[in-house]
Structure 1
Amino acid sequence: MQVKETRNEGLKRGYEFTLPAADLAAQVDAKLKEAQPGIEMKGFRKGKVPMALLKKQFGQRVLGDAMQEAIDKAMRDHLEQSGDRPAAQPQIEMVDGETWKEGDDVVVTVAYEALPQIPEADLSGIELERLVVSAADEQVTEALQNLAKNAQDFEDRRKGSKAKEGDQVVIDFKGMVDGEAFEGGTAEDYPLVLGSNSFIPGFEDRLVGAKAGDEVRVEVKFPEEYGAEHLAGKDAVFETTVKAVKAPKEAEIDDELAKKFGADDLEALKTQIRERLEAEYKGAARQVLKRALLDKLDSLVKFDLPESLVEAEANQIAHQLWHEEHPEEHGHNHGTIEPTDEHKSLAERRVRLGLLLAEIGQKAEITVSDQEMTQAVLQQARQYPGQERAFFEFIQKNPQAQQQLRAPIFEDKVVDHIVEGAKVSEKTVTKEELEKAIEALDEL
């Protein structure tokens, strides 16, 4: 294979690979000879089929395979000799592909952007500040009060009291469509909190003002988009008997409340809450620390960036921000979204930091283990209840999806590696000061 350089500008590379027709023909002959002993054909014993007949029968297919193998090998050899690492899949095109015929030389053009040489980054002088927040007693108390609200009980209202929104009514009901009872439309002693919107729109409203012992005819209409197609958009009648009206009552903050949340007693629950709050604060403080580190790394080294990577990242940023500004648009039929200079500047930062962190991680021999990947897949699968198996299969078959899960794990491990070798001081702050620091991240 003959290789001629056609472009060498910055990170952009261009080459012309020429495979002489004689070399290609020799490869085809070699492949056919290798396969000849195992080929059977009518009129010939196994392994005795003449080469001319093999060429006529299998020549074109073998020719295509030989051509592809030769180009792939030439590409591998070139990258090994040049030391280039393409930023994306090289563009390979056959010259005169439509008019090429057997006996002609094979000429292909190869174009790609090489990843830049990353300068050695001096990480020894990096100084960082870690914010530390302890959970105050009032924050633990506030969390306890919220738990008590979520664990509220209900107690019977005085006889004859009318149900209000927020009350719980205990009901028997029988639902009918076109005069016929339908499956799933009947229940006894059903506890329904008015205002919870857990029933068909309009159902709970009709029970506001009802008293224990009342029989209420609830007339509603199933939504057009209702899950059960045979009920969607249909008028329905629910013959309903109110058996009890109960007022909400916050749970007492005591040992019994603690047991509802899996703790032995109230003190144990307080300890759990304090630990959970401080873990949340620690996670938020890490975000602040990580941003400070990335800012320092961004100014530490400069190098050329592959335009293709920057352009792809800028387009992705513009697309993501557009959807955040237009949450009502769920599809992608919105035309082209042109990245702004701000998008391009952010893209350059992300690409530069991504390449730098990858280089640091590679030199430090940092990898993502199978166990870490499995944990990430399990965590992501929880977002698709009932479809976990399908999600696992999708990840297994999709290398790009695997990389999207692996990349943030790798980045965090590299960040931790750098932080371990940096000079890190601690600063005790309040919860409010930490929140301001987090808000400031979104403003940058």
Structure 2
Amino acid sequence: MQVTETLNEGLKRGYTITLTAGELDEKVNEKLAEAQPEVEMKGFRKGKVPMALLKKQFGQRVMGEVMQESIDGAMNEHFEETGDRPAMQPQVRMTNEDWKEGDDVVVEMTYEALPEIPEPDLKAIKLEKLVAKAAEADIDEAIGKLAGSAQTYKSRRKGSKAKEGDQVIIDFVGKIDGEAFDGGAAEDYPLVLGSQSFIPGFEEQLVGVKAEDEVTVEVSFPEDYGAENLKGKAATFDVTVKDVKAPKDAEIDDELAKQFGADDLDALKAQVAERLEAEFGGAARAVMKRALLDKLDESVKFDLPPSLVEAEAKQIAHQLWHEEHPEVQGHDHGAIEPTEDHQKLAERRVRLGLLLAEIGRKAEVEITDAEMTQAVMAQARQYPGQEQQFFEFIRQNQELQQQIRAPLFEDKVVDYVFELAEVEEKEVSKDELQKAIDELEDDA
């Protein structure tokens, strides 16, 4: 095997790998000799098939295996000797496309090498950690929202007119052309006006009704209605109003606490405070992480593989275009050219990605099987009833596994740097923390 360098410009590398016909033939013979004792063929005892016949019968297939193994082996040997790490999968092609058995195999390999990444002094990094405590007002506000979610309804004074947001208890019968249709009737149905749970126009016509009223509601079923026999049809509903109820927030007491799994109101408040401070902690971590990435981006510079930057810029441009055009669901649109801003953001992301990967590699940061399983389970919950299919889909898709693993790895590396850096805590209010988060979003 002979390896000749053909390109060495910046991070771009090119090599010609020549595998001689002699060494290829030798490896084919070795493979056939290794398999010979187990080969059975008509007219010969097991293991006694002549080598010449084996070569005629299986030589071409074995040659294909040998060529692939030899090229892979040559590439691995090259990377071990040079210490190069390709930024993306190397491009490999045979230059003698008219190759025939007995010829040397000449392969051209090109790639972009990962750059030498300087090691920052992580202990010299100074960071500020915002600490927000759950104030009594924050806890009361959260408890109030829980009470609102546990809303009940209380009958209004007799003769009161229904308002939007009220609940009306109704009997109704739906008719098309004067004939009742299947599924169009119910008794004692609780309908909240303004909930848009009925077909368009129905609830609006019940605003202002009183208990014991009998009204006829006239509507048309939407053209995209689920039942084929009702699509676009005009209908009437004979409605009897049996009660009109006003919304009533639950009382903030021990009974409310028990609805949310707490022993009493004090225990519920403690749970809410813990949840709020966990949310505040997550927000504060995001602020500190951005500050860390900004410091690393400013202090560490090195050459970037052009192919990685180009791919990242295209991905950013494509993602932002879809955010600006949510009505376009597919990807059958024209080419989206990255702008200068996309390019700058791509350079930052690639630089920080490579830097964090190198810090993690040297610190031997790894994602455990348990951490990976937990992350997959969290995503699987988005598909209730299909969790097993989701797990199987992820198991068979290496690219998706990497997409799940990458942010886990980044967060573990960031936590590792936090431990080494000089971190000073600063107590802030919830509003001050929210302001810091808003500034992050504005800069995104």
What TM-score, normalized to structure 2?
0.93
Shift of 1:26: 1.8
Q: Please identify runs of 4+ aligned residues in structure 1 that moved more than 6 A.
A: none
Report the CA distance shift for 1:303/1:205 in structure 2 as closer, same or farther (over 3 A).
same
Report the CA distance shift for 1:187/1:392 in structure 2 as closer, same or farther (over 3 A).
farther
User: Which residue number in structure 1 is paired with residue 82 of structure 2?
Assistant: 82
For residues 179-234 of structure 1, give each alpha carbon's deviation from its aligned partner in whole angstroms, at most 9, with x where no partner exists: 4643x554432211111112222232233333333444444444333445565545
Shift of 1:168: 0.6
Instruction: Indicate whether 1:289 and 2:288 are aligned.
Output: yes
User: Which residue number in structure 2 is paired with residue 392 of structure 1?
Assistant: 391
For residues 43-76 of structure 1, give each alpha carbon's deviation from its aligned partner in whole angstroms, at most 9, with x where no partner exists: 3332233333322322221111111111111111
What does 1:219-230 align with in structure 2 at a 5 Å threshold? 219-228=218-227
| Alignment check: 8 A CA contact 2:173 2:180 kept | no
Instruction: Give unpaired runs (5+ residues) of structure 1.
Output: none
User: Which residue number in structure 1 is paired with residue 55 of structure 2?
Assistant: 55
Residue 44 of structure 1 aligns with an amino acid whose one-letter code is F
User: Which residue number in structure 2 is paired with residue 25 of structure 1?
Assistant: 25
Instruction: Give unpaired runs (5+ residues) of structure 2.
Output: none
User: Which residue number in structure 2 is paired with residue 329 of structure 1?
Assistant: 328
Residue 37 of structure 1 aligns with an amino acid whose one-letter code is P
Report the CA distance shift for 1:267/1:71 in structure 2 as closer, same or farther (over 3 A).
same
- Between the aligned partners of 1:198 and 1:388, the Cα distance in structure 2 is 29
What does 1:89-100 align with in structure 2 at a 5 Å threshold? 89-97=89-97, 99-100=98-99
For residues 72-103 of structure 1, give each alpha carbon's deviation from its aligned partner in whole angstroms, at most 9, with x where no partner exists: 11111111111111111110001122x22111
Residue 294 of structure 2 aligns with an amino acid whose one-letter code is D
User: Which residue number in structure 2 is paired with residue 72 of structure 1?
Assistant: 72
- Between the aligned partners of 1:273 and 1:259, the Cα distance in structure 2 is 14
1:377 counterpart SS class: helix
Report the CA distance shift for 1:111/1:300 in structure 2 as closer, same or farther (over 3 A).
same
- Between the aligned partners of 1:53 and 1:230, the Cα distance in structure 2 is 72
- Between the aligned partners of 2:2 and 2:269, the Cα distance in structure 1 is 74
- Between the aligned partners of 1:11 and 1:280, the Cα distance in structure 2 is 43
Report the CA distance shift for 1:52/1:221 in structure 2 as closer, same or farther (over 3 A).
farther
- Between the aligned partners of 2:44 and 2:425, the Cα distance in structure 1 is 84
1:111 counterpart SS class: strand
User: Which residue number in structure 1 is paired with residue 136 of structure 2?
Assistant: 137
Residue 35 of structure 2 aligns with an amino acid whose one-letter code is A
Instruction: Indicate whether 1:39 and 2:39 are aligned.
Output: yes
User: Which residue number in structure 1 is paired with residue 211 of structure 2?
Assistant: 212
- Between the aligned partners of 2:67 and 2:425, the Cα distance in structure 1 is 62
User: Which residue number in structure 1 is paired with residue 251 of structure 2?
Assistant: 252
Residue 295 of structure 1 aligns with an amino acid whose one-letter code is D
Report the CA distance shift for 1:152/1:61 in structure 2 as closer, same or farther (over 3 A).
same
What does 1:355-434 align with in structure 2 at a 5 Å threshold? 355-434=354-433
Report the CA distance shift for 1:30/1:300 in structure 2 as closer, same or farther (over 3 A).
same
Shift of 1:250: 1.9
- Between the aligned partners of 1:253 and 1:344, the Cα distance in structure 2 is 53
- Between the aligned partners of 1:224 and 1:64, the Cα distance in structure 2 is 60
1:191 counterpart SS class: strand
2:391 counterpart SS class: helix
User: Which residue number in structure 2 is paired with residue 341 of structure 1?
Assistant: 340
What TM-score, normalized to structure 1?
0.93
What does 1:88-237 align with in structure 2 at a 5 Å threshold? 88-97=88-97, 99-175=98-174, 179=179, 181-182=181-182, 185-228=184-227, 231-237=230-236
- Between the aligned partners of 2:221 and 2:7, the Cα distance in structure 1 is 67
- Between the aligned partners of 1:79 and 1:308, the Cα distance in structure 2 is 19
- Between the aligned partners of 1:188 and 1:118, the Cα distance in structure 2 is 72
Report the CA distance shift for 1:110/1:228 in structure 2 as closer, same or farther (over 3 A).
farther
- Between the aligned partners of 1:157 and 1:322, the Cα distance in structure 2 is 51
For residues 293-341 of structure 1, give each alpha carbon's deviation from its aligned partner in whole angstroms, at most 9, with x where no partner exists: 1111112222111111111111111111111222222221221111111
Identity %: 69
For residues 268-294 of structure 1, give each alpha carbon's deviation from its aligned partner in whole angstroms, at most 9, with x where no partner exists: 222222222222111111111111111
Residue 7 of structure 1 aligns with an amino acid whose one-letter code is L
- Between the aligned partners of 1:111 and 1:421, the Cα distance in structure 2 is 39
Report the CA distance shift for 1:340/1:147 in structure 2 as closer, same or farther (over 3 A).
same
- Between the aligned partners of 1:329 and 1:233, the Cα distance in structure 2 is 27
